[in-house]
C-alpha cells in the first residue's frame, strides 16, 4: 500500500541565492496531507526555488520547512537525497533524463537502484499504465534524443509517479505541450494524487486547470 500524502509546514522561511538579494520569505504555509495545490505568479517570484526547497535541493537561510514530520533544514545532503529518492516525485523543467537509457529504463532506474532488476520489474505494469495515460505507450523503447520536448516531459512525468511517492512536485509540467496533451497530463497528475491520497504541488502559468486544484497559491505573497 502506498504511503499517505505528506503534510508540508513552513514557518518563517527565508531564502536567497549566494551573493544575491533575498528572494523568498514564507511566513507560514500549511498543506494538509493529500492536498492538490497549484502555485502561480510571474517569472522571478521564486516558484521554482520553493519547489527546490521542498525537495531538499536548496536549503533555507533560516526558518523551518517540514515535509511530513521531518524538518529539511536539519538534514545533511545525504539525508535529503534519501528523502527525495524514497518519498518525493520530481518533475522539473530540466527533466534530467539519461540519454544512454531508453524511456522505460529511465523510468525504472530509481526502482532498479533500490530493488534490483527483479524488484524493478514488478513496477512495469504501472509504468505501462502511466505511459498509456499520457500517450507514451508506444515510445518506451526510444532514447530521450529521439523524443520531442513534450514527449521528454511526459517521460519525466512517468518516472516521477512510478513508485507512488507521497509528495509530488511538478514545475511547469505542461509548459511544452499542446492544449489537449496538457489537459491529459494535468488530469493524470490530479487523478493519480487523489487516488493514492498523495500531496501534489504544481507550479504553472496555465490558468485553465486551476479550478481542479484544492488551493491556488500566489508566489508574489512570498517575495522577500
CB 193 within 8 A of CB 199: yes
CB 166 within 8 A of CB 4: yes
Instruction: Tell me, yes or no, whether 71 lies in a domain.
Output: yes
Cell 514488478, residue? 122
- Share the mean pLDDT of the chain: 91
Give me the domain span that covers residue 147: 8-222
Q: Is the pLDDT of residue 1 over 50?
A: no
Cell of 180: 489537449
Instruction: Tell me, yes or no, whether 137 lies in a domain.
Output: yes
User: Dihedral (C-alpha) 193, 194, 199, 205: value to the nearest 10 degrees?
Assistant: 70
Q: What is the pLDDT of residues 167-215, one digit of tens each?
A: 999 999 887 788 888 888 899 999 999 999 999 999 998 888 999 999 9
CATH number at residue 63: 3.40.50.300
DSSP track, 143-162: -GGGS-HHHHHHHHHHHHHT
CA distance 74 to 204: 29
Instruction: Tell me, yes or no, whether 3 lies in a domain.
Output: no
Q: Which residues contact 65 (CB under 8 A, 6 or more apart)?
A: 8, 9, 10, 13, 53, 54, 71, 72, 73
Compare 141 and 179 and report the one with higher pLDDT.
141
pLDDT average, residue stretch 109-133:
91
Instruction: Tell me, yes or no, whether 2 lies in a domain.
Output: no
Q: Is the pLDDT of residue 108 over 70?
A: yes
Instruction: Tell me, yes or no, whether 192 lies in a domain.
Output: yes
Q: What percent of the chain has pLDDT over 90?
A: 69
Q: How many domains does one find in the chain?
A: 1
Q: What is the pLDDT of residues 40-51, one digit of tens each?
A: 998 888 999 999
193, 83, 20: which is closest to 75 by C-alpha?
A: 83
Q: How confident is the model at residue 35 (pLDDT cuts 50, 70, 90)?
A: very high
Q: What percent of the chain has pLDDT over 70?
A: 98
Helices (H), the chain: 47-54, 77-87, 103-121, 124-133, 149-161, 179-196
Amino acid at each position: 500500500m502506498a504511503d499517505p500524502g505528506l503534510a508540508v509546514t513552513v514557518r518563517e522561511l527565508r531564502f536567497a541565492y549566494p551573493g544575491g538579494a533575498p528572494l523568498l520569505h514564507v511566513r507560514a504555509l500549511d498543506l494538509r496531507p493529500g492536498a492538490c495545490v497549484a502555485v502561480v505568479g510571474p517569472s522571478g517570484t521564486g516558484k521554482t526555488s520553493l519547489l527546490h526547497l521542498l525537495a531538499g535541493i536548496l536549503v533555507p537561510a533560516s526558518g523551518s520547512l517540514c515535509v511530513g514530520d521531518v524538518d529539511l533544514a536539519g538534514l545533511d545532503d545525504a539525508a535529503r537525497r534519501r528523502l527525495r529518492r524514497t518519498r518525493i516525485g520530481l518533475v522539473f523543467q530540466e527533466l534530467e533524463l539519461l540519454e544512454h537509457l531508453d524511456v522505460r529504463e529511465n523510468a525504472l532506474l530509481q526502482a532498479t537502484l533500490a530493488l534490483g532488476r527483479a524488484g524493478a520489474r514488478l513496477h512495469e505494469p504501472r509504468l505501462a499504465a502511466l505511459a498509456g495515460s499520457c500517450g507514451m505507450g508506444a515510445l518506451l523503447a526510444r532514447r530521450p534524443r529521439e523524443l520531442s520536448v513534450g514527449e521528454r516531459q511526459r517521460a519525466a512525468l512517468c518516472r516521477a509517479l512510478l513508485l507512488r511517492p507521497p509528495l509530488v512536485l511538478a514545475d511547469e509540467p505542461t509548459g511544452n505541450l499542446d492544449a489537449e496533451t496538457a489537459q491529459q497530463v494535468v488530469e493524470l497528475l490530479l487523478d493519480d494524487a487523489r487516488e493514492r491520497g498523495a500531496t501534489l504541488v504544481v507550479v504553472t502559468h496555465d490558468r485553465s486547470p486551476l479550478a481542479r486544484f484544492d488551493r491556488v497559491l500566489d508566489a508574489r505573497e512570498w517575495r522577500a
